[in-house]
Amino acid sequence: MVQEILQYLFSGVTNGAIYAVIALGFTMLFSTTSLINFAQGEFVMLGAMGLITLWKGFQLPLGVAFLLSTLGVAGVGLLMERLAIRTVRKPHPIVLVIITIGASILLKGIAMIAWGKDAHSAPAFSRHPPLEVAGATLLFQSLWIILIVVAVVLALQAFYRKSLTGKAMQACAINRKAASLIGIPSEKMTLLAFALSAGMGGIGGVLVAPITMSSYDMGMLLGLKGFCAAMLGGLGNSWGAVLGGMLLGILEAMGVGLFSSSLKDAIAFLLLLGILYVRPSGILGEKAIHRF
Amino acid sequence: MKQILFAVAVLTMGLTISQSYHLQLLTFIGIHTILALGLNMLMGYAGQISLGHAAFYGLGAYATGILTAHWGWSPWAALPVALAGTFVVAFLVALPMLKLSGYYLGMGTLGFGMIAFIVFREWSSLTGGDSGLVGIPSLTVGTFSVSSGKPYFFLVWGCVLLAFIACERLVDSRVGRALRAIHDSEKAAAAMGIDTSRLKIWVFVFSAVLAGLAGFLYAHLVTFISPNSFGFLVSIRIVTMVVIGGMASIWGSLLGAAVLTILPDWLHVFTDYEMVVYGLILMAIMIFVPQGLTRGILDTYERSRRKAFTTPDPSQS
């Protein structure tokens, strides 16, 4: 029994780490621009497909393929901001939401043409044998995923705390008008936030590629679950995103293991309704943010 | 007056169009109009968002589907039960949910919609699961069969007309003014003595019941329902109909529903590029006419009229 629970815990933490990166992308964009990007799941899909093509197809070294697909997805995010978001004359939030939905359909359509309707898979990052921990097996791939996510979170914290650009971005998040009054180019910050959050989605995709089958329509559910994780931890709070992602991953794995696998997709949304009912601002969120 | 014109237009269309494909398309536009109209009352007038409206659409469809196909009820007996069921569920959902606002309300309704979708998919002993619910009977009145084609066209558009009249009267009433006050500022509305939370719950329930009615009409038209007709993407499509047509515009719902029903059908010629073109059109409409097509067309018309008045007089500039 203990062994089984440990096994579920391992798989939960692995999935949770991926949800956490996706949630970080949502949260980062939301805190700088107060926008929710429904194409975030599509960025995850592009990251996964990009890795598979570059690594398996073009035989590039793993590190290079990782970097290139992340940068490529960040570039797509940048383009999206320049071409679609900034050109709106009267940016009402619901209009922007529908534009991101349009972008997500567009990206999905492009992916379908580029990669076809079949599912693709990627091998594990390294050929190490699985580890044996108290009777439960821990795949080496899980360690890679957790390691990379921890590195991303630490890098993001360092960026926010140590670099001038990161501080400027936080200033934008706290008060956009005041930030631009003291000379912070808030439009550039929006652009940067888009690129970074798309890049986060891309990393999520790269990490998810070896543990599931990837196809052009994988983005929606991953995006929605990342979103649930962000809400769970508190929208706009980056530690909240990590906590929410982990919590979601672990509870999902436990629910599937101990109850039924048909519950799997429902757990995220039940948690979402629960947190909205008890504490709408999320576990670590400070106050409810009213928009619209 | 408008309603009479509308009724005449529907009548002439129904009597002149004989191609069954066009009638079918128009019938679907009617069903989608009812959906968009209900959501527009909630989004456009009361300013509350719902990203899970397909759940109520599905609830209406599955309620009547299960009652008629499994338990052999008459559809006309199933209709009030389906509507009452939607009513009760919507009320229970609205009670805690409408304390939220903005993105939080959007997320809450999204979560509810996803859970409803999962229930439709997983409760396969009742709903048929992924493979769908078959054998829903067509409607009959006495011995006269109201299956697809002209009779169903008139039935659906009759419902649309009734929904139009109900919504127009509601908008022009004291309740409608109160809803618009909530849209502009909930606090100010409350200060004026409007019971905002009660009103928001009732408009949510009203729009859900309209969606349930659309679900009933859909189920008996196609006689086969599966969970994918009521998933997240369908909820999003209803929201898109409202926004593209124009928020807070009853006729905009008709326009939005028509555009989003005809467009995918017309885009089949693009085969593999269908999704790309659809996404591009959606983005383009929102970028260039963010106020919705109804308002956009009216604005262009007014601008061109103003231009026509000013251009003959060059000395003014």
Q: How far is CA A199 from the centre of its chain?
A: 9
For residue B144, report the phi and psi dihedrals to the nearest 5 degrees.
-85, 125
Domain extent, residue B187, equals: 2-232
- Say yes or no: B270 contacts chain A, CB-CB below 8 A: no
- Say yes or no: B299 contacts chain A, CB-CB below 8 A: no
Question: Between chains, do A104 and B279 touch, taking CB under 8 Å as contact?
Answer: yes
**Residue B58 located in a structural domain:** yes
HSE-CB for B263 with a 13 A CA cutoff: 20
Please tell me the distance from the alpha carbon of residue A37 to that of residue A39, in angstroms, as a whole number: 5
For residue B297, give the H/E element and its range.
helix B293-310
Residue in A84, A87, A276 closest to B104 by CB: A276
ipTM of the complex: 0.84
Q: How far is CA A51 from the centre of its chain?
A: 16
Please tell me the distance from the alpha carbon of residue B82 to that of residue B190, in angstroms, as a whole number: 34
- Say yes or no: B126 contacts chain A, CB-CB below 8 A: no
As given in the structure block, the two tokens for residue B27 are: 């019938």
Residue in B110, B240, B278 closest to A98 by CB: B240
Residue in B49, B232, B283 closest to A84 by CB: B283
Chain B residues whose beta carbon lies within 8 Å of the beta carbon of residue A234: none
**Residue B296 located in a structural domain:** no
**Residue B261 located in a structural domain:** no
**pTM of the full structure:** 0.85
Residues 6+ apart with CB under 8 A from B90: B56, B204, B205, B208, B209
Closest CA to A194 of A74, A274, A83: A74
Residue B251 CA: distances (Å) to CA of B54, B163, B164: 21, 12, 9
pLDDT in tens, B220-268: 888 889 998 898 888 988 988 888 888 888 888 889 899 888 888 888 7
Closest residue in A to B287 (Cα–Cα): A88
Residue in B102, B118, B281 closest to A292 by CB: B102
B219, B136 contact by CB (below 8 A):
yes
As given in the structure block, the two tokens for residue B94 are: 């609205």
Residue in B118, B247, B276 closest to A265 by CB: B118
Question: Between chains, do B276 and A110 touch, taking CB under 8 Å as contact?
Answer: yes
CA-based nearest distance B58→chain A, Å: 17
pLDDT in tens, B171-221: 888 888 888 888 888 888 888 888 888 888 889 999 999 999 999 999 988
Please tell me the distance from the alpha carbon of residue A50 to that of residue A202, in angstroms, as a whole number: 9
Question: Between chains, do B276 and A109 touch, taking CB under 8 Å as contact?
Answer: yes
As given in the structure block, the two tokens for residue A219 are: 């983005």
Angle subtended at Cα B33 by Cα B115 and Cα B44, rounded to the nearest 5 degrees: 75
**Residue B75 located in a structural domain:** yes
Please tell me the distance from the alpha carbon of residue B314 to that of residue A70, in angstroms, as a whole number: 57
User: What is the tally of structural domains in chain B?
Assistant: 1
Question: Which of A80, A90, A95, A100 would best serve as a mutation to test chain B binding (most B beta carbons within 10 A)?
Answer: A95
Report the pLDDT averaged over residues A5-29. 90
Question: Between chains, do B103 and A291 touch, taking CB under 8 Å as contact?
Answer: yes
CA-based nearest distance A276→chain B, Å: 7
Please tell me the distance from the alpha carbon of residue B246 to that of residue B27, in angstroms, as a whole number: 21
As given in the structure block, the two tokens for residue B269 are: 């010629």
Q: How many CB atoms lie within 10 A of CB A149?
A: 25
Q: Residue B266: what residue type?
A: W
Question: Between chains, do B276 and A104 touch, taking CB under 8 Å as contact?
Answer: no
- Return the pLDDT at B138: 81
Angle subtended at Cα B251 by Cα B203 and Cα B292, rounded to the nearest 5 degrees: 90
**Residue B316 located in a structural domain:** no
Question: Between chains, do A272 and B107 touch, taking CB under 8 Å as contact?
Answer: yes
Closest CA to B124 of B178, B187, B44, B70: B70
Please tell me the distance from the alpha carbon of residue B20 to that of residue B29, in angstroms, as a whole number: 14
For chains A and B, CB pairs below 8 A equal 124
pLDDT in tens, A136-162: 788 888 888 899 999 999 999 899 889
pLDDT in tens, B20-75: 788 888 889 999 999 999 999 888 888 888 888 999 999 999 999 999 888 888 88
Q: Which residue, chain included where needed, has tokens 């729009």?
A: B207
- Return the pLDDT at B311: 58
Question: Between chains, do B232 and A84 touch, taking CB under 8 Å as contact?
Answer: no
B281, A117 contact by CB (below 8 A):
no
- Say yes or no: B236 contacts chain A, CB-CB below 8 A: yes
Question: What is the C-alpha radius of gyration for chain A, rounded to an integer number of angstroms?
Answer: 19
A290 pLDDT above the threshold of 50: no
Mark A30-55 as b/e (b = at least 16 C-beta within 10 Å).
Answer: bbbbbbbbbbbbbbbbbbbbbbbbbb
Q: How many CB atoms lie within 10 A of CB A91?
A: 14
Q: What is the second-level CATH architecture of the domain A2-122+144-278?
A: Orthogonal Bundle (1.10)
Reduced DSSP (H G I as helix, E B as strand, rest coil) percent helix, strand, coil of chain A, to 5: 75, 5, 25
pLDDT in tens, B282-300: 888 888 888 888 888 888 8
Confidence class for position A261, pLDDT limits 50, 70, 90: confident
Chain B residues whose beta carbon lies within 8 Å of the beta carbon of residue A228: 111
**Residue B301 located in a structural domain:** no
